[in-house]
Structure formats: structure tokens, C-alpha cells
Amino acid sequence: MPFIKTVLFTGVAGLALISCSPSSTPAKSTAKPAATAPAKVEPAPAKAEPAPEPAKVEPAKVEPAAATPEAAAPAAPRPMSAKRLYLRRTCIACHGRNGAHAIQQYPNIAGLDASYIKKQIKDIISGKRQGSPDKLTGHPRAESMRGALVTADGEARISDDEIQVLADWLSKQPRAQNEARSEALTDEGILVGKALFEKSRCRTCHGAEGNKPLKGYPHLAGQKAAYLAEQLRDIRDGARTNGRARIMLPFVRKLSDDDILAIAGYLSQVQAGE
């Protein structure tokens, strides 16, 4: 018969698998075949690429309350959920659960502006953003991330679409709160940092207390002190010049290393805004 159509109801989550003529659907279902499955279905030809997972159409969750991180996922069905992608691409090892905490001097990335996140990931992958050498490893600071996301042959292990999905998702995660306060950071030091932040007009672009930046710029409140200090030094000294970093130069040029430590300490202790 020319038009054999076998419709299988696998019973697994009501997933219907439609098999048309043998050649047209190479897609291989990963679902366990139900016990009642007729034996007619030929095994799909082995393909080099694993078939994309069957698109799970998640019902769009509308209630903004009950904010589980997943609820913030984009409504359109994607090949892999953002959260899963975040685990699979090993971001979690360095940036912590949902983009907050983990390795001490590595940045919290939860709640940053989506376009900023996207740009930084791309610049790190392309090598435009490297940073000064890390004292521990001797390699430029962004090298560890690049090493995780780029093969030895220089091929990115992450696609542009995946970067977009991750950026959108991360931008909706709650910002880190309560960064650990180092013993060296005194109440007086925090006040000195606050005064320097005001005097240096950092708020022009990063908002009051570094909490409400201009669109596309990073917030600073609640970020890790060690990371903030490294970036300030790198931007001041010209080791970080990607993106719009250069427009900051006139504001940081005159800051001493001690000034930078004070500002970074202060900002790390500011309660992060929404």
C-alpha cells in the first residue's frame, strides 16, 4: 500500500509519534516504546547527529508570582530549555546556581541586562575580552571560560541561538544577595567607597548605588568585591577594552588601587535591587 500511515500512541505523556513513509522521518524517538507498539516500525536509520529532543510545548505560565526560575523561560518552544543549557554548557560550575555565587572571584551574572550578557559571552568566545593575567593561573582572566566554550580547533561549543536563550534566561534570574564581606572591609572603608562612587559620578551610568544602570549596562550592586576590583583595574589599565568599556576611562583614570578596593567593597555590600 502506497500510503501507510502508522500512528502510535505510546502512552508516555500522551506523546504521539507519526511515522509516514520510511524515508521521510528519520527522527528517532527517545521515548520508551509502549508495550502495545506494533512491530511494524522500522528502526530509524542511525544519524550522526542526535535527533533533537521532541519539542515539549510547555504551557505558557502566566502568573508572574510563584517565581520559579523556570517560569521565566521564553514561551516559544526551544530545542533545550535554558536551565538545562546552563547546566550542559557547564556555566554552573563557575557562575553558580542560576548565575549567582559559585567561584569567589568569578562574576555573578544573574539579573544582568540580556544584551550585556550576550555581548560579553560573544566577546569572551572571540577573544575580544581577555583581561589581565590571573595571579593564580597566569592566564588572562576570561581564558577559563573561553577554554570551556571553545574547542582546541577554535570552534564554539555553543551556538548564537543558545547564547540568546541563556542571556534572556539569566537576565530574569534574581540577582545575588549578601555577598560575603571580607574581614579587611571595615564600616569606615564602606563609607569611603560610597563617597568615592558619588564623587567619581559612577551613578551617571550605573545608577544610584550601582543598582539601576542605563539600558545595556551592567549593574554593580551586590557583585563580588574581588571581581569588581579586577574589572575596575582592567578597565583603568586598558586590559579590558571590549564593548563600551572605553567610555568609562575618564571616570576611573585617576582612581588608585586603594580607591578601587574601597569602591568595590562598598558596592559588594549594597543590597541588590529587583
Name the residues that contact ligand HEC, by CB under 6 A.
89-91, 93-95, 106-107, 109, 112, 117, 120-121, 131, 141-142, 144-145, 148-149, 158, 166, 200-202, 204-206, 217-218, 220, 228, 230-232, 242-245, 247-248, 251-252, 263
Nearer to ligand HEC, 166 or 190 (CB): 166
Other Cβ atoms closer than 10 A to 257: 11
Query: From the CB of 77, what's the least distance to ligand HEC, in Å?
Result: 21
Whether 106 contacts 227, CB under 8 Å:
yes
Residue whose beta carbon is closest to ligand HEC: 243
Burial 189-211 (b: 16+ CB within 10 A, else e): bbebbbebbeebebeebbbebbb
Nearer to ligand HEC, 83 or 141 (CB): 141
Query: From the CB of 142, what's the least distance to ligand HEC, in Å?
Result: 4
Whether 83 contacts 70, CB under 8 Å:
yes
- Euclidean distance between CA atoms 195 and 15, whole angstroms: 61
Query: From the CB of 95, what's the least distance to ligand HEC, in Å?
Result: 5
Nearer to ligand HEC, 33 or 174 (CB): 174
- Euclidean distance between CA atoms 192 and 180, whole angstroms: 19
Query: From the CB of 4, what's the least distance to ligand HEC, in Å?
Result: 44
The per-type count for the chain, helices as H runs and strands as E runs, is: 10, 2
Residue whose C-alpha is closest to residue 75's, from 173, 169, 215: 169
Greatest pairwise CA separation for the chain in angstroms? 86
Query: From the CB of 258, what's the least distance to ligand HEC, in Å?
Result: 14
Nearer to ligand HEC, 15 or 94 (CB): 94
Q: Which stretches within the chain are classed as H helix? A: 82-88, 91-95, 114-126, 143-149, 160-171, 187-199, 203-206, 225-237, 249-252, 257-268
Helix (H) / strand (E) element for 115: namely helix 114-126
Query: From the CB of 188, what's the least distance to ligand HEC, in Å?
Result: 19
Nearer to ligand HEC, 8 or 202 (CB): 202
Nearer to ligand HEC, 25 or 144 (CB): 144
Nearer to ligand HEC, 8 or 222 (CB): 222
Residue whose C-alpha is closest to residue 28's, from 56, 8, 47, 1: 47
Query: From the CB of 155, what's the least distance to ligand HEC, in Å?
Result: 15
Query: From the CB of 65, what's the least distance to ligand HEC, in Å?
Result: 27
Nearer to ligand HEC, 176 or 220 (CB): 220
User: Going along the chain, which residue ranges are E strands?
Assistant: 6-9, 16-19
The residue whose grid cell reads 551592567 is 218
